[in-house]
Amino acid sequence: MPDSSIVILVGGEAGQGLVTIGQLMAKALVRAGYEVCVSQDYQSRIRGGHNTFVIRTGLDVFHAPCDKVDILVALNAETVARHKSQLTPGSIVVADEAIDTTGLNALRVPFRTLASKVVQDNVVALGVLGQTLCKDIGLLEQLLREQFAKKGQEVIDQNLAVLRAAYAWVKTQDHGFACLPPAPAYPAERLMLTGNEAIALGALAAGCNFCSFYPMTPGSSVALTLAEHAKFMGTVVEQAEDEIAAANMAIGAASAGGRALVPTAGGGFALMCEAVSLAGMLETPVVFVVAMRPGPATGLPTRTEQADLNLVLHAGHGEFPRAVFAPGSIAECFSLTHRAFAMAEKYQSPVFILTDQYLADSLQNAEPFNIDGLPEIPGPLLEPANPATYKRFALTADGISPRVIPGFSKALVIADSDEHTEDGKLTEDLTVRVQMVDKRLAKGQGLAAEAVPPSLFGEEGPNGSKDVDLLLVCWGSTFGAALEARERLAEQGRSAAVLHFGQVWPLAPDQFLPRLIAAKRTVCVEGNATGQLARLIRQETGFRFQGQVLRYDGLPITAAYILRGLESIL
Amino acid sequence: MVSPEKRSEASAAVSVDDYGQFDTAWCPGCGNHSLLAAMKQALVGLGLAPHQVLVVTGIGQAAKAPLYMNCNMLTGLHGRSLPAATGARLANPDLTIIAESGDGCNYGEGGNHFLAAIRRNVDLTLVAHDNGIYGLTKGQASPTTGKGQVTKAQPFGQPSEPFNPVAVAVTMGAGFVARGFTGEPEHLAGLIQQAVQHKGFSLVDVFQPCVTFNHVNTFAWYKQRCYKLGPEHDPRSRDQALDRALEFGERIPIGVLYANDRPAFGVDLPTLKLGPLALRQPDFEALRGVMRSYL
């Protein structure tokens, strides 16, 4: 089906309240029954600069941003200048009457007439936007009541009056913008949350009760979400003195019975690599969230990229097993985070969730998560069968030794970062060394056997995807854009399928190699410059993709970007 | 911290034999031997059984200490004993947790963690084996090596001023700051006991000779200089404590330099009042409420 979405871009300087306008409008749309996908583009500063909050909305499901703009809410003149080239036919600009909108279909808003205080400008913009979309004022009134609940009735009433004035003013204007088509009465309540909020909720559902972190965009919001809910959930959240401390604290907490999460971004994670190796050696379950942004070094601190797959795959010296998940949607941020904890606990290993700035910050609607339907993750083992003979690293067929928490029985739990014997003490017995390497790596076999298969979208012939002309392969947040590109191709009469990897390590080739081989053409879509997943798949299977669509300018991949890239390949 | 119930439960049964005797990898004459003996004596004196104690170390010759006594042990990374011990403490308020490592580990590689531990005031005891040299890596200068001391790595003499851990700790208002000497093992055992009993972060910096690599700060060097603080010293006075902490020359005081009643980390944190993390069940009802806040 053709793209029926409407894109609202709210732009201005940091500190002008554009996020408030955007969040309230997005929530009103979700409550009204529309699909919503928000992308936030901001600069690394608290005031000034040029930031945007982009809401893509409509009745069809989509999980990616797109390049066009239908409603441009310009809080300053720069926003008009920067974005007018993206405006579609039939679009509209909402701007203060003092801003030059010559040649554009514009609602030139008399902000100072509609609101006496500058601080209420965002409510004016919200009201103008709401009436332009022909949305029921009741939705926004309720949201303003919730927003200002703590400030008292007087403030609520003042803002409601401004909102109503804005609605009334738009009704007097002949702007010609087509209303959003009415949404069907939505059958159930829906959530609106970001990828990082969904990761935090997935962690809580998995029994996570400890989070240590050092602030770094775009990873911090996972910790901030856990901190926000700590008074209800009891989660211990500690801001460490640095990333090295954060990772080592998590290992200490997990060793003593906590279920630990460490959120960070690429640069911070680089500092944690020695601790990752320690978790591998001590066989400690710790889940790391690495929210990617463009590097190297400080790179583009507030933009998006998928360039840290190699880092996470290889982080930490020595050889030890790990698993790496790459959620592609809000729903997967929740479910794969739960899965990450289940795997970390079962295989007593570091496990990683790779997300990126786009998905981390993207507000989207989602069905309420099915908390009761999740598989149970067993709690910690407090007492071994025989405390007197307990050995922390007992050799077993699958490499998994009973992991007892110290202090709850007479068993002594001994764990040494040196190579160690079954009872955990330092050894230089080289026979034991080989046994212990084999034991640790045996857990990798189990992790591979339990790998989440990549998900296939699109027509499937009797032998996998053999009837498909094109197979788009993607991982992480690129998923939404790839799905949409598939729909655009279908409109052009071209059959395409999407294979999305929600887990990128370990890879189980039986799950996907026949499909890659059967497809007439395969293209790997990634948000990096070197094709890291394509290289990994080739390394593991020998399979070489016919083409790659790569993006590394700091912006999220869109369907249009993929289609442009395919033009030179197909 | 040792709760009275735990003490009485175990004290009758605990003896130094419970902590075992092991062959060590240390040089004969190394201060680690008598520090290990003092540690065992202190824990027995507190009535703590080995399974009630978790010793968290970094890397170095000192960090091997818990290998040579029965206890729960987590030997982690060089410099990182304090963060790992902090994590363990936040996860379990009932264990007795001791971080143990050398001067290079605690004050060099882990310097930022040392400062953070004092600020945070988490209830754990840091026993710093301080021999003024790197032993495991064979004799380079450590943060507490004296200025001008010649080593293989510093052939023109160690060029930097030495770090004074007790003065830094006193200046930052640490809750318990003591200095011991392995030539006074009974006295040292008493300091470790008081440190473990203190509710909050406690530092015991322990002078000890390195017979192989430090030919300046020998047993005799310390023996001539160290004197025990007497009743004239008021450890509640930060001014007096700082004067004594800075006394480092012909005479060096050992004993409790400084103590105060700063509340330990987390006594007012609702998330830490709910008991050990290992005993908590996920609260799905609360989680459903949290999820509803996103409607």
- What is the structure's pLDDT at A461? 47
- The pLDDT, as a whole number, for residue A187 is 61
Domain locations in chain B as residue ranges: 4-266
Intra-chain end-to-end CA distance of chain B, in Å? 44
Both tokens of A245, joined, read: 């401390």
Give 10-residue mean pLDDT values along chain A (570 residues). Answer: 87 89 95 93 79 94 91 95 94 95 95 91 95 93 95 95 96 91 80 98 98 97 98 97 98 98 98 98 98 97 97 98 98 98 98 98 96 95 96 98 98 98 97 98 98 88 61 97 94 92 98 94 98 98 98 96 94
What pLDDT digit, counting tens, does each position of B133-169 carry?
A: 998 899 999 999 999 999 999 999 999 999 999 999 9
**What is the ipTM metric for this complex?**
0.96
Q: How far apart are alpha carbons A535 and B291 in whole angstroms?
A: 39
Pairwise CB contact (< 8 Å): B271 & A193: no
Of B72, B84, B272, the CB nearest to A251: B84
Which residues of chain A from 175 to 204 reach within 8 Å of chain B, CB to CB? 189-193, 197, 201, 204
At A387, which amino acid appears?
Answer: P
Whole-number Å distance between alpha carbons of B264 and A158:
46
Q: What is the pLDDT of residue A14?
A: 84
The beta-carbon neighbor of A210 closest among B70, B277, B288 is B277
| CB atoms A234 and B87 under 8 Å | no
Which helix (H) or strand (E) covers residue A91, if one does? strand A87-96
Q: CA–CA distance from A83 to each of A11, A77, A93 (Å)?
A: 9, 10, 10
SS3 A422: coil
Q: Is the pLDDT of residue B3 over 80?
A: no
User: First vs last Cα of chain A: how many Å apart?
Assistant: 22
Which among A26, A177, A28, A4 has a CA at the least distance from the CA of A94?
A: A177
Written as six digits, the tokens of A23 are 């969040």
CA A144 vs. chain centroid, Å, equals 28
**A551: burial class by Cβ within 10 Å (0-12, 13-18, 19+)?**
buried
Decide if B83 and A248 are in contact by the 8 Å CB cutoff. Answer: yes
Contact A257 B277 (CB under 8 A): yes
CB B32 within 8 A of CB B129: yes
Across the beta sheet with A48-58, what order do the strands follow?
A106-109, A87-96, A69-74, A6-14, A48-58, A35-41, A363-366, A191-194
From the list B145, B170, B180, the residue with the least C-alpha distance to B159 is: B145
**Contact yes or no for A241 and B281 at CB 8 A:** no
pLDDT at B7 over 90: no
Could you give the domains of chain A? 6-171 (3.40.920.10), 192-372 (3.40.50.970), 387-438 (no CATH), 455-567 (3.40.50.920)
Chain B residues near residue A380 by CB distance under 8 angstroms: 278
Answer whether B87 sits within 8 Å of A251, measured CB to CB.
yes
Q: What one-character DSSP code corresponds to residue B104?
A: I
- The half-sphere exposure of A387 on its side-chain side, counting CA atoms within 13 A, is 15
CA A247 to chain B, closest CA, distance in angstroms equals 8
Q: Tell me which chain A residues have a C-beta less than 8 angstroms from the C-beta of B288.
A: 371
Size of interface A-B (CB pairs under 8 A): 199
Tell me phi and psi for residue B75, to 5 degrees.
-95, 115
Going through chain B in order, the beta strands assigned E by DSSP cover 53-57, 72-75, 96-102, 125-130, 176-181, 202-207, 226-228, 252-259
Sheet of strand B176-181, all strands in order from the earlier edge strand to the far edge: A414-416, B72-75, B53-57, B96-102, B125-130, B202-207, B176-181, B252-259, B226-228
Contact state of A234 with B283 under an 8 Å Cβ cutoff:
yes
Instruction: Answer yes or no: do A236 and B113 touch at CB < 8 A.
Output: no
Which of residues 98 through 137 in chain A touch B, CB cutoff 8 A?
none
Note the pLDDT tens digit of each residue in B212-224. 999 999 999 999 9
Supply φ then ψ for residue A101, to 5 degrees: -125, 30
Cα A541 to Cα A509: distance, rounded to the nearest angstrom? 7
Question: Inter-chain contact A255–B86, Cβ cutoff 8 Å?
Answer: no
Which of A305, A292, A312, A259 lies closest to A503, judged by CA?
A312
- The pLDDT value recorded for residue A238 is 98
| CB A51 within 8 Å of CB A14 | yes
The verdict on a CB contact (< 8 Å) between B287 and A204 is: yes
Tell if the CB–CB gap between A248 and B94 is shorter than 8 Å: no
CA-based nearest distance A8→chain B, Å = 21
Measured CA to CA, the distance from residue B174 to residue B201 in angstroms comes to 7
Taking contacts as CB-CB distances below 8 angstroms, the residues of chain A near B95 are 256, 406-407
* B92: chain A residues, CB-CB within 8 Å: 256-257, 405, 407
Provide the CATH number for the domain formed by B4-266 in this structure: 3.40.50.970
Coil, helix or strand at residue A44: coil
* Contact predicate A89/A70, CB 8 Å: no
Q: Do A234 and B113 touch (CB under 8 A)?
A: no
For B36-90, the DSSP string reads: HHHHHHHHHHTT--GGGEEEEE-SSSGGGGGGGSSSEEEE--TT-HHHHHHHHHH
Q: What is the mean pLDDT of residues B120-129?
A: 98
Tokens 């110290």 correspond to what residue? Answer: A406
- Tell me whether residues A245 and B116 touch, CB distance under 8 A: yes
DSSP string, A488-550: HHHHTT--EEEEEESEEES--GGGTHHHHHHSSEEEEEESSSS-HHHHHHHHHH----SEEEE
CB A336 within 8 A of CB A452: yes
Query: In a mutagenesis test of the A interface, which of B290, B292, B293 is the best target, namely the one with the most A β-carbons within 10 Å?
Result: B290
pLDDT at position B245 over 70: yes
B232, with CB counted inside 10 A (0-12, 13-18, 19+), is exposed
Chain A residues with CB-CB distance to B113 below 8 A: 241, 245
| Residue environment code for A101-134, b if the CB has 16+ CB neighbours within 10 A, otherwise e | beebebbebebeebbeeeebbbbbbbbbbbbbbe
Identify the sign of the CA torsion A195, A200, A205, A208: positive
Q: Which residue of B has its CA nearest to A212?
A: B87
The rounded distance, in Å, linking the Cα atoms of A475 and A454 is: 9
Q: Select the residue of A253, A368, A387 nearest B90 (Cβ to Cβ).
A: A253
- pLDDT-above-90 percentage for chain B: 94
What pLDDT does A462 receive? 44
Chain A residues close to B275, C-beta within 8 Å = none
Exposure pattern of A63-95 as b/e (b: 16+ CB <10 Å)? bbbbebbbbbbbbbeebbebbbebbeeebbbbb
Picking from A238, A341, A345, A403 by the largest number of B CB atoms within 10 A of its own CB, the best residue to mutate is: A238
Any idea which of A7-16, A315-324, B6-15, B245-254 has the lowest mean pLDDT? B6-15
Contact call for B72 and A257, based on CB within 8 A: no
Q: Residue A551 and residue B104: Cα distance in Å, rounded?
A: 45
The answer to whether A307 and A354 have CB atoms below 8 angstroms apart is: no
Cβ distance B76 to A210 less than 8 Å, yes or no, reads no
Instruction: Please report the pLDDT score of residue A469 as a whole number.
Output: 87
> Which 271-330 residues of chain A touch chain B by CB within 8 A?
274-275, 278, 282
CA atoms in the 13 A half-sphere facing the CB of B273: 6
Q: Alpha-carbon distance B152 to B103, whole Å?
A: 18
